[in-house]
Structure 1
Amino acid sequence: MPDMFRGNPAPNPSAASASELVAAEAEAAASGSFLDRFKVKALETAKSFLIDMWLARHTQERVMPVLRGVLEGAGEEFADAVRFGGGVYAVGYCFGARYVLLLAREGRGGKKGDEEAGVEEPLIKAGALAHATLVSKDDFVGLRAPLSVVCVEDDPLFPDEVRIAGEEYMSANGVEHEVQVYPGVPHGFAVVGDYNDEHIKTAQATAFDQMLKWIEEH
């Protein structure tokens, strides 16, 4: 597993911080006072600030060279497996999901395709991604590798308009794909974990099977 973050993992609020926010929200709801509402906003702002600062440090310009290096290394160390398997597969969640898209794009790979047409093959053979973040409509332009996409209904981090634009692009350009939207689950639900909510637990297992089946079939 490549360290895309160079030893600087994404901020993960502690259980104490999370419980503090929940308690503050309950107190604000009960009292309705301006001061209590201000406390909630302050906690939310602090968490958002940490995430924003982290994202500012981990841009496409920093992450893509790391991934390219890993793929080049895999091609050298596991040359036979890559050659006879037809390539490398990629699976990405949240922040990493966007990079599956970028690796699957036309003209971004190091393996030549139709030279007369000036087309390069993508760096991956096929990909699967779940509840992507920071994806724009332009990230779908040039896609060539088959993709399985796991989405959350009404996800502000991966808006419907971006998802729909991506689906329309893939359909119009003959990109093999599947898109499944999961209702009633939070962003991040597909990450393997111990969930108390049976609906989330079932959705997580279904999403995992969706992605695994896609990779195995390609």
Structure 2
Amino acid sequence: MYNRSLLAQYYGGKTKLSLAARIVRDRKKWSLCRRNGKDRYSPTYTKWHLTHPENAAPRVSSTSKYLPGGTNIRLCNEKKASNADKPLYSGNPTGSSIKIADNIETYVAEPQGNVHKDTAILYLADVYSIWPNSKLMADQYAANGYYTIIPDLFNGDPVPQERPDGFDIMSWLTKGSDGNNPHTFQYVDPIVQKSIEFLQSKGYKKIGAVGYCFGAKYVARFLAEGKGIDVGFVAHPSFVEEDELRGMKGPLSIAAAETDEIFPAEKRHLSEKILTEQKHTYQINLYSGVTHGFAVRCDLSVPIQKFAKEQAFFQAVAWFDKWLL
């Protein structure tokens, strides 16, 4: 079941943390840094609090602000904070955008050269849906020979990359931003199903699915018998139910973060137990020094994060090369 406290901590969450660092003496300088990221700054431990959203520049104020659980604070010098404007790879996406089925916005990355015929990958994204990082990752799967698509699982309503204060993730999940666009499985399942049918209509006989965070749940759901997915890979999975794991029929590979309040050690161990009991073909790799989201969004200037991100991708490709081809 959804854990509201964990949802709050990860999705824009409000996790209080005492910050131990230098006091910024010049408030104007801090404000300038917030605007353009060019001046050196540090959080303080008392009067000031830091909000450090993933994939956005840090913000500070004298009112009570919070730090998302598990985020590492790093001092910055001439650049924005660690997760701000940090794509998975450099360069521009090379795929194209189309609409499939019932007007589902979809990113398509087509392989060139060494193409794995009859096989495709369905990329089930995190809550940011189709954005530069997911596009670049899809391009990389295509570069490894797999026709890859990313359907918009959220009907045009992803979580904002710069979340406003007071953003309510539970309300977004259950009702959507406008109150009439839910993102629960009853609404996401049909999008996944139509995406699978689209791939099948193009002649792809075997389909692998990758799921990051939010998308991982639907990899498990559609690895069930007759649901259309043959092989799965997930990274830092969120809210996969026990019965969904038990119901799978295809091989599953998991990339887990050492620090992950949504997929902590206890849940990881329970997943291992279930997968073993069900005699599934599975793999679980644990990456140290990283937190939830590392396989999609991390600070590439930190060697251990860059290594983990790259290895998680290689893990996925190797898994598909073994079990999908």
TM-score, normalised to structure 1, is 0.70
Equivalent-residue separation in structure 2 for 1:87 and 1:165 (angstroms): 29
Answer yes or no: is the 8 Å Cα contact 1:122–1:144 preserved in 2: no
Q: State the shift of 1:8 in Å.
A: 0.6
Are residues 150 and 102 of structure 1, via their aligned partners in 2, closer, same or farther at CA, if it must alter by over 3 Å?
Answer: same
Aligned to 2:183: 58
Are residues 48 and 207 of structure 1, via their aligned partners in 2, closer, same or farther at CA, if it must alter by over 3 Å?
Answer: farther
Answer yes or no: is the 8 Å Cα contact 1:128–1:147 preserved in 2: yes
Specify the code of the residue in structure 2 equivalent to 1:151: A
Task: State the Cα deviation string for residues 144-202 of structure 1 (Å, max 9, x = none).
Answer: 11011001124111132222222111112221010011121021111166622111001
Which consecutive segments of 4 or more residues in structure 1 shift more than 6 A?
none
Specify the code of the residue in structure 2 equivalent to 1:59: T
Equivalent-residue separation in structure 2 for 1:161 and 1:193 (angstroms): 24
Aligned to 1:209: 314
Q: State the shift of 1:47 in Å.
A: 5.1
Q: How does 1:86-165 map to 2 (within 5 A)?
A: 86-106=205-225, 121-165=226-270
Equivalent-residue separation in structure 2 for 1:48 and 1:153 (angstroms): 28
Equivalent-residue separation in structure 2 for 1:175 and 1:141 (angstroms): 9
Equivalent-residue separation in structure 2 for 1:215 and 1:47 (angstroms): 40
Specify the code of the residue in structure 2 equivalent to 1:78: G
Equivalent-residue separation in structure 2 for 1:103 and 1:135 (angstroms): 12
> Does residue 189 of the first structure (1) align with residue 308 of the second (2)?
no
Specify the code of the residue in structure 2 equivalent to 1:61: Q
Instruction: Name the SS for the 1:209 alignment partner.
Output: helix
Specify the code of the residue in structure 2 equivalent to 1:148: S
Q: Mean Cα displacement is larger for which, 160-169 or 178-187?
A: 160-169
Specify the code of the residue in structure 1 equivalent to 2:265: D
> Does residue 13 of the first structure (1) align with residue 131 of the second (2)?
no
Specify the code of the residue in structure 2 equivalent to 1:9: P
Aligned to 2:199: 74
% identity of equivalent residues: 35
Aligned to 1:200: 305
Are residues 48 and 208 of structure 1, via their aligned partners in 2, closer, same or farther at CA, if it must alter by over 3 Å?
Answer: farther
Aligned to 1:168: 273
Task: State the Cα deviation string for residues 65-98 of structure 1 (Å, max 9, x = none).
Answer: 011011112112225xxxxxx5211001011011
TM-score, normalised to structure 2, is 0.48
Specify the code of the residue in structure 1 equivalent to 2:202: E
Q: Mean Cα displacement is larger for which, 169-178 or 191-200?
A: 191-200
Instruction: Name the SS for the 1:52 alignment partner.
Output: helix
Equivalent-residue separation in structure 2 for 1:191 and 1:65 (angstroms): 25
Ranges in structure 2 where 5+ consecutive residues have no aligned partner: 1-149, 175-181
Which has the larger share of strand?
2
Specify the code of the residue in structure 1 equivalent to 2:173: L
Task: State the Cα deviation string for residues 15-45 of structure 1 (Å, max 9, x = none).
Answer: xxxxxxxxxxxxxxxxxxxxxxxxxxxxxxx
Q: State the shift of 1:206 in Å.
A: 0.8
Equivalent-residue separation in structure 2 for 1:48 and 1:89 (angstroms): 37
Equivalent-residue separation in structure 2 for 1:102 and 1:65 (angstroms): 12
Q: State the shift of 1:140 in Å.
A: 1.0
Equivalent-residue separation in structure 2 for 1:13 and 1:50 (angstroms): 13
Specify the code of the residue in structure 1 equivalent to 2:296: V
Q: State the shift of 1:53 in Å.
A: 2.3
